[in-house]
Structure 1
Amino acid sequence: MEFGAKGLPDWVPGSVRLYLEHTEMGLSMRRLAQRSGCHASTVMRQIRKLENRRDDRLVDEALKRLCGQYASAVRAGFPQRETQKECQMTVRKTTACTLPNEARLTAEALRILPRLCETTAVLAVAAEMEKAVVVREDDSGNSTRTAVVDRGIAEAMALKDWIDCTDPGRISRYHITAEGRAALTRLMAQAETRAQAGFAEAPAGFAMAPGDREVFDPASVRSSTRRNRYNAAESPMMLLARRKDREGNPFLSADLVAAGERLREDFELSRMEALPDRDGTGQGPETARERVANALRDLGPGLGDVALRCCCYLEGLETAEKRMGWSARSGKIVLRIALQRLKMHYDSLGDTAAMIG
């Protein structure tokens, strides 16, 4: 019998499976083409494209890890294969991180890809680090870290053509691709469909209370099916941060933006099934929900409402003003006060308020 690419994550593209069967099992391109129902030249192009992409650090490391997983399945059916030794030697050279399963890749993609859609955002990957970071530059050239990504997640995204290395080096920089933006749209639609089907009778996680206030309910945050009203490339807070005051200074300073990003990160993490480790000890989404609830409780009515709307729901200021019954152009002032108060809240917590990583 022939050995398929068993033992591999479901998200692995078909072209990668063909590549492994050709390079690790020695199956000819003609034989693979017959099995796939396509022309041998098509298989050849897919295999050559992957081989050329091995100059990309993340793609190369992902293929090495897949080779190791493939070798484990090969041992079960073909213990005599010499290629197993080669695969085992290859996988021992890689770092300790592992490639994700389908569910975890989907959850992390919904967290990371929106960040990469933001203006000037890149994924920075250092050769010696097991984590990658999403950073974004402001108009002054200052960089802000907006997310931390496990190395295995970054490798999977590169292998699926969701990100592309535009600046290789000791610290390589990746941008989101057209395929990545299309994948984000598809995954968001699928997530919303699942939420609507699974929680059709469940109470809203962020229900409207009397007075049209937003109420954060930590117990049912994942049941919320509310969609963010924003363009991922420019969140409401970042649009405001790009504005200048009368003295020509940014309307929102970098530390206020960081406070808003911290609240947004906890909000996003609270909606996930599992979270990356903060300090190696591990944590659950309940912890993130509690942090969001504590922050909004500290801000109180009004300030907490605008922070939840603009930082978490990414609702536009004009929309927030109308829903809150405020006068036009007052929202930006209230949001700045809320972020100042939010910064004080996180400052009082010390190092425990740092973003993940």
Structure 2
Amino acid sequence: MRETRETRETRETRETSAAAPLFNDAESPLTWLRARRGKDGKPLISEAQFLAGERLRADFERALLARRTTLNWDLAGAGSRCGNVAADMSDEAMAARRRYHAAIDSVGPELASILAQVCCLSAGIEQAERVLRLPARSGRAVLGLALNALARHYGLAGAVRRDGIAGWGLDGYKPSLNGGRQP
């Protein structure tokens, strides 16, 4: 079942103590990639890749990592505040910051930069290629690899996990322990 923006926001609001960050889905390059089809008729990114990228973006927004474009009046003339921004940050923002950094660390420095550009900063693929000095028309492939690694980090795709052991079997598959011979 495809999740609408309203149901996702409602679910995220219920799952977290803070309100979910609001953003326009049309602004996200991931939404554009999910809506477009390749030559084979499949979406350019899978649902697991899309969900992983949006989860990273939500943590980025909640962690207050985006650059401010206006003056922060909270710090100007703070009477009782000491000006320590980290002390004023909410627990939810700190938790989101930890989740964001754990996700970025899990994909590695080679793939983290394209995730930050496309998922978090909403840069288009061509713009991300220019900023990161990637060869022309290679951004989508690099982004696909990064989103796969991110989806694995979040447990959304790839290996089936049973007791911390990764296996590539279908649900319900049980290998034979006696080599296929009858007991």
| Counterpart among 299, 302, 305 of residue 107 in structure 2 | 299
**Shift in Å at residue 232 of structure 1?**
5.7
TM-score (norm. length: structure 1): 0.32
Could you tell me which residue of structure 2 aligns to residue 332 of structure 1?
140
Higher radius of gyration, 1 or 2 = 1
1:93-116 CA distance string (max 9 Å, x none): xxxxxxxxxxxxxxxxxxxxxxxx
Could you tell me which residue of structure 2 aligns to residue 134 of structure 1?
9
d(CA) in 2 for partners of 1:307, 1:122? 21
Change (3 A) 1:323 1:270: same
Change (3 A) 1:267 1:291: same
Percent identity at matched positions? Answer: 35
1:289 is aligned to 2:97 = yes
Could you tell me which residue of structure 2 aligns to residue 123 of structure 1?
6
d(CA) in 1 for partners of 2:38, 2:64? 35
Amino acid at match of 1:343: A
Could you tell me which residue of structure 2 aligns to residue 78 of structure 1?
none
Tell me the secondary structure at the aligned position of residue 303 of structure 1.
helix
d(CA) in 1 for partners of 2:33, 2:92? 32
d(CA) in 2 for partners of 1:232, 1:248? 22
Could you tell me which residue of structure 2 aligns to residue 80 of structure 1?
none
Give the structure with the higher percent strand.
1
Structure 2 segments unaligned to the other structure (5+ residues): 66-88, 162-183
1:238 is aligned to 2:31 = yes
Tell me the secondary structure at the aligned position of residue 271 of structure 1.
coil
1:131-171 CA distance string (max 9 Å, x none): xx538xxxxxxxxx6x4369xx79xxxxxxxxxxxxxxxxx
Amino acid at match of 1:247: D
Structure 1 segments unaligned to the other structure (5+ residues): 1-119, 125-132, 136-144, 155-175, 177-183, 185-230, 275-282, 351-357
Could you tell me which residue of structure 2 aligns to residue 323 of structure 1?
131
Tell me the secondary structure at the aligned position of residue 13 of structure 2.
strand
d(CA) in 2 for partners of 1:246, 1:122? 28
Assess if the C-alpha contact under 8 Å between 1:263 and 1:312 holds in 2: yes
d(CA) in 1 for partners of 2:52, 2:4? 18
d(CA) in 2 for partners of 1:291, 1:329? 31
- The aligned length equals 130
d(CA) in 1 for partners of 2:128, 2:135? 10
Assess if the C-alpha contact under 8 Å between 1:306 and 1:338 holds in 2: yes
**Shift in Å at residue 303 of structure 1?**
0.7
Amino acid at match of 1:266: D
Assess if the C-alpha contact under 8 Å between 1:240 and 1:332 holds in 2: no
Tell me the secondary structure at the aligned position of residue 311 of structure 1.
helix
Tell me the secondary structure at the aligned position of residue 123 of structure 1.
helix
TM-score (norm. length: structure 2): 0.60
1:68-106 CA distance string (max 9 Å, x none): xxxxxxxxxxxxxxxxxxxxxxxxxxxxxxxxxxxxxxx
**Relative contact order (C-alpha < 8 Å, sep 6+): which is higher?**
2
Amino acid at match of 2:63: S
Assess if the C-alpha contact under 8 Å between 1:235 and 1:314 holds in 2: yes
d(CA) in 2 for partners of 1:262, 1:235? 12
Could you tell me which residue of structure 2 aligns to residue 255 of structure 1?
48
Assess if the C-alpha contact under 8 Å between 2:26 and 2:32 holds in 1: no
1:264 is aligned to 2:71 = no
Equivalent positions of 1:16-55 (< 5 A) are: none
